[in-house]
Each structure stands twice: as C-alpha cells, then as structure tokens.
Structure 1
C-alpha cells in the first residue's frame, strides 16, 4: 500500500491523503491473461462511490494500463471516490501475450466486459485492498474513459455497436453504472470517418450513440483535431453529446488537445498540451458532475461550473440537454 497526497482544487491548502493498491488480480474464465486492477481511494471515509476508469491506447507502455491516469485517479480519490482501473487487453504492457488472442487488436468487447467483471467481483476487491473493507457504496457506480476508454464507456452507458465482423448490432450496457464521463472520446462513423487510421480501426466508426441514454458528461478539447480518423475537426469529439439523447452535458475545454492537458500521466512527454491547471480544473469538474449525478440535488456541479467555466478565466464552456 502506497500513500500519496492529492489536493482539492477548491481548497489547495488542504492535502488529502490517498491510498493506492495494485495489482488486485481477478481470474476470468476464457480471458487470455488475468484481469489486474488498481484501486485508489481516500485514506478515510465510508460510503465511497466507485468510478471505473478505462484507459486509452497511445504510444506509451504503462499509461495504457492500471498504472496510468494518476492525475485523475488521485484527485477523484481526494474528492471521496474509489477509483478502479483495469488493465485492458489493448494495453501495450500485454501486447506480447495477447497479439494472437481472439478479439485482437481492438478487444472492444473484452474492454467493456472487464468492467462488468470488476462489478461482479467488487466484494472481492474490497476485501483484498487493505483498509478498504466496508467502505464502498456499490450502489453508486460511474464509468469514465479517455480516448479509446471513452469508446468503452459509451458502450457501457448504452451505445450500440455494429460488429464489423458479423454486421450484428451489439449492446453491452451495464445497468449498474449510473453515470459516466467521456474524455476525448471518438465520434461518429460514416462518411466523415475517412482518416488514414479509419480502415485499421473500423470498430471505432461502428458506434450508434442514439441508444446511449444514461447521463454523461462529454469532454472535448477545442484543439483536438484527430486527422488520423476524420477531417471533421474537433467537433468530432463532441458527437457523443450531439448524437445521443439527454440527459447529457458537454464541457468544451479551451486550448485543449487530445491529452486534455496531461490526464494520462504526470509529466508525460507525449502530452502535446501540458497544463497542470487544465488537468486540475477538469478533475474537479468531472468529480463534481459525478457527485451531483450520484447524489441528486447536491450543488457540487453548479458550484464547480460557476468557479471554473464563467468569467474571464474560464477553462471552458458548458452546455446541457
């Protein structure tokens, strides 16, 4: 068990101790390797809501695993959440083990099923992690994901997917998940899915957002121009908001590129728009959104929006439907 110190964005002088434990190893029949997860939680407190955090892909090895996304996991834990991060089969840390496994290379179905396995075994996770037993509220569960992780989160929140291999429409919605956060998630397919990587990843363009009915915060950077998938520009990453039914909220971050300031890891060289201030603001806003969704009537989201998305120093703009 290692302890780190996270800081509340709204009270920067008050450090909040956070505990992180990994790996928790879950054996899953039929999965080519065991499912490993990291749990990050505040050192104290009970009734902790759970955030399932799905990593993206990217060029680094360990950022695409349970070892990535510490800037978000630490902040969310400091705000009173227990964050559970699996290493999906798409992780570069597993490439040498699963290259020929069924579902490679995108493992779209397995990625979503990983989260269902975590929820099925949440009691085992709670008992395994020191100082966590009896502290989780398994009735308050959210999902968050960045990039390819946002694609996974969309499926868990109800988006349909046309299987590129069979043509069948598949639904992998997880009803125990009550809300979600999609961070720089992929957008629509069709004619705009025309970049050089589109043929290599046809499943990305096979999602139907019209059935994604669960509440979600969609986060898009206004400088996130994913030309390798589309010539639509940054608006492509707003599609999970634009094309899905409400209740949805769109947070457009000013001057943010695909890394949204560096959420995948502290001081990651691959981050093209590094901004600790943007990461702190995004972490606070996303935590506030989920807190209000999981505790209806709480003013957390409204307060965070007033502090961070209004006035001359606004980090972004918000719209809802």
Structure 2
C-alpha cells in the first residue's frame, strides 16, 4: 500500500466488521413499486453518521440497484458510517415494471424524492435492521452519487433544474443533507450538451449548478471522456465544481475513466479502467471528506489531502474553493 493511501486509512481508524441487510421495504404512495433499500453499518458503535448512496445507470442488470457499489458502501460502513442504498426507478431490475410509469425513463424527480422518503422513514429503517435501532445520528447526513446518481445528488444539494415539461425551475434541495460527494457526475447543458445521447436525455443538460450551495466533493476522472453527451472532454465532469459556489473541493483522479477504477461493483466486467488501488484510495478520500464535513474541525480530510501529495505515485490531485 502506498503512503498516499495508508495515512488517510489510519486517520479513519481500524475497519470494523460490517452488517448488511436488504431489502428494507418502504411503501411510498403514488410510487409504482415499493422503495427497497440496502442498509450497511458497522457491527458496533453509536451516533453513526449516515451516507445516502445514489446508484448510476450503467449497463449491468444488477449493479444499478441496492446491490451495487459494494467497494464504497462496505468501506464506508467499516469506517463508522451507516450507508443506505435505494433501488431507484431507473434500475434495470425494475424496467419491466415501470417502463410506462410517469417520469420514465429518467425518473429525475422520483430519484431525488427517494432520498427524502428514506430520511422521513429513518426510524422505521433502523427498527427493521437487526441491531441498528437508535445507533444512527439523524443530524449527520451526507449523500453520494455516481454518474446519474451524481446528477441526483446535485439536485438534493441545491442545484436547480429547468423542468422540460413545464419550463419552470424546480428546486428539490433536501436541507437535512449536510454535504455530498458527486462521482463522475454530468456537467453543463446548453451548447456543451451536443453528443448523440443529448436528445434522449435532455434532462441532463437542464441543471443549474449556481444554486448548489451545500458543501460537496466533486470527483472527476481525467480520462472520463463522455462523447455520447459532449465533446468537452473530461473537463465536463468538473462542471459541478467549476460552476457551483463554494465551499467545494475537486478531486481529479489520474487515468480514471467513468467507472473511477471500478466503484460500481467488485470485478465488474464493464469497468473500462479497473484499478483496485484507485478504488481503495477513492473510498478512503471520500470517507475522510465526509467525516470532516459531518464532524467540523476534524483533521481527517486535511490529512488525507496531505497524504495524497506525499506518496511516490499520487492517484490524483485536490483543489478547493
């Protein structure tokens, strides 16, 4: 293990055994199917901060669901967070049930509302998971999302959205969420959204980052060239940092493509840039960032950033504003 990853791991403490429980089922009036979530948490400890994790929309049948993103969810839970992962209506596991439901195919509003439903039902979720009742700190809530999940995270952190159906700007900010992590999230619209998929997913270009005021870490791969949406190149994925007000940090991962090394699942065949060390370092850096955001004054994030630049082969660079 390189210095750049070991130091930040030490700051987070020794990993604990993890309990993972699914599905916890929430009945949501008007939702075409029940909201199912996976909950992962350390086996011991109290006052656990909470991370809501929004999946993307990849080609796998099951990773874009509560069954994905184990490399992140397991690490975060092992280092003191409770992690809740919903299966959004965009999941391929539900496509045969919701293809004609209102909001298809992007379900942008439903995806954001899923997180609010989880927070509203947090007491019930705790009671449903063995050995978890009373252990989550409901005042320490963070959010992470990958790809389309990063789009969802932006809305919940304050970004506006020009509803294509009404022409009105919609705000779905969730004030209980204190900070977020946007992983390979989409960037700006307008002339930049000019790829072949732009017409099929116009909602991607409808986001206004100028009102995304909550603290956030934006993670972008410097080889993440999403030509299906834009010809801007990898810089497009830095837009949530560039176009949003502070406080924000940008972690640029060297040689990382859209999978950021393989965060969506262990040994996922469609990961184009598989790199276990990159995934491990990303898990540590995001955990350190959210730990400091939810425990103001904690030096965890500063230490992780310093460690990132002291190793012989840094996996990326960080800038902040």
TM bin (shorter chain):
over 0.9
3-state SS of 1:145 partner: strand
The 1:8–1:96 alpha-carbon spacing in structure 2 relative to 1, beyond 3 Å, is: farther
User: 1:263 is matched with which residue?
Assistant: 263
Q: Distance in 2 between matches of 1:283 and 1:150?
A: 16
Q: Please, what TM-score do these two structures have when normalized by structure 2?
A: 0.96
The 1:8–1:77 alpha-carbon spacing in structure 2 relative to 1, beyond 3 Å, is: farther
User: 1:125 is matched with which residue?
Assistant: 125
Q: Distance in 2 between matches of 1:310 and 1:319?
A: 15
3-state SS of 1:75 partner: helix
Q: Are residues 1:53 and 2:53 paired?
A: yes
User: 1:227 is matched with which residue?
Assistant: 227
The alpha-carbon deviation at position 164 of structure 1 amounts to 1.2
Q: Distance in 2 between matches of 1:14 and 1:22?
A: 25
3-state SS of 2:76 partner: helix
The alpha-carbon deviation at position 308 of structure 1 amounts to 2.3
The 1:13–1:242 alpha-carbon spacing in structure 2 relative to 1, beyond 3 Å, is: closer
The alpha-carbon deviation at position 309 of structure 1 amounts to 3.6
C-alpha offsets along residues 84-109 of structure 1, whole Å, 9 cap, x if unaligned? Answer: 00000000000000000000000000
The alpha-carbon deviation at position 14 of structure 1 amounts to 5.3
After superposition, residues 54-73 of structure 1 pair within 5 angstroms as 54-73=54-73
Q: Residue 8 of structure 1 contacts residue 14 of structure 1 at CA under 8 Å; is this kept in 2?
A: no
The 1:295–1:9 alpha-carbon spacing in structure 2 relative to 1, beyond 3 Å, is: closer
User: 1:95 is matched with which residue?
Assistant: 95
Q: Which runs of 5+ in 1 are unaligned?
A: 1-6
Q: Are residues 1:205 and 2:205 paired?
A: yes
Q: Please, what TM-score do these two structures have when normalized by structure 1?
A: 0.96
3-state SS of 1:281 partner: helix
3-state SS of 1:30 partner: coil
The 1:13–1:149 alpha-carbon spacing in structure 2 relative to 1, beyond 3 Å, is: closer
The alpha-carbon deviation at position 15 of structure 1 amounts to 5.0
User: 2:3 is matched with which residue?
Assistant: none
3-state SS of 1:83 partner: strand
3-state SS of 2:16 partner: strand
- Root-mean-square deviation (CA, aligned residues, Å) is 1.5
Q: Residue 39 of structure 2 contacts residue 82 of structure 2 at CA under 8 Å; is this kept in 1?
A: yes
User: 1:172 is matched with which residue?
Assistant: 172
Q: Distance in 1 between matches of 2:14 and 2:219?
A: 27
Q: Distance in 2 between matches of 1:139 and 1:192?
A: 38
User: 1:282 is matched with which residue?
Assistant: 282
C-alpha offsets along residues 289-317 of structure 1, whole Å, 9 cap, x if unaligned? Answer: 00000101100001111122444321100
User: 1:254 is matched with which residue?
Assistant: 254
